[in-house]
Structure 1
């Protein structure tokens, strides 16, 4: 079973852990950058960070499922927000979609993303142990 750790001496957060230890034999699933495009490649959500986050997280769920994983199997989640996007508008939507999972999370700011108009992008690593 994967261990998610919050070592003493590091900030305590209910939203994430700092360390993930994956056991031997687990299947690792890597999810490349997902953003708010639909199945036809059209950007969803306009300039609304919450709407874009909902679509981005839908895409994450779909990608994880293709690899036999769920958000409960995440061992790393990276969220990139473009400059000026309010983390407070995007993160609660993402957190709700994580269904209580608390993988290590990396949040970074970037000048822009490959999809014009995209406000955020997520990538992830999951470890399936079942």
Structure 2
């Protein structure tokens, strides 16, 4: 079982952990960058909340295809286009994470490869072998 740690001396957050320890023999799953696009590649919505909802849907689908769920997440990297309201994205993502607290990297970027995309999430998960 993966251990997610928030050691004393580091800021304590209800949203993320600081350290992830994956046990030997676990299967590691890497999910490439997911944008707020549907199965046809069409950007869903022109606001951060709608796109974040679609990104999280895509993340659930990708993890399920590998036999995992958000509870198996070890790390998420979140790219937000500069100027978007993080406050509008956070509650949508938090609801979809259902209490999971993976390690997280968040960065603001000038733009993403998909025209009109406001958010991109990649992730690493681990499941017992």
The two structures share one fold, judged by TM-score above 0.5: yes
Q: Which residue of 1 aligns with 2:108?
A: 109
Q: Which residue of 1 aligns with 2:71?
A: 72
CA RMSD of aligned residues (A): 0.8
Q: How many aligned positions are there?
A: 129
Q: TM-score, normalised to structure 2's length?
A: 0.98
- Which sections of structure 2, spanning at least 5 residues, go unmatched? none
CA distance in 1, matches of 2:50, 2:121: 14
Moved runs in structure 1, 4+ residues, more than 3 A?
A: none
2:81 is the counterpart of 1:82? yes
- The residue matched to 1:55 in structure 2 has which SS? helix
Alignment of structure 1 residues 1-130 onto 2, 5 Å? 1-46=1-46, 48-129=47-128
- Which sections of structure 1, spanning at least 5 residues, go unmatched? none
Give the drift of 1:116: 0.4
Superposed CA deviations along residues 89-119 of structure 1, whole A, max 9, x for unmatched, are 1111001100100011111100000000100
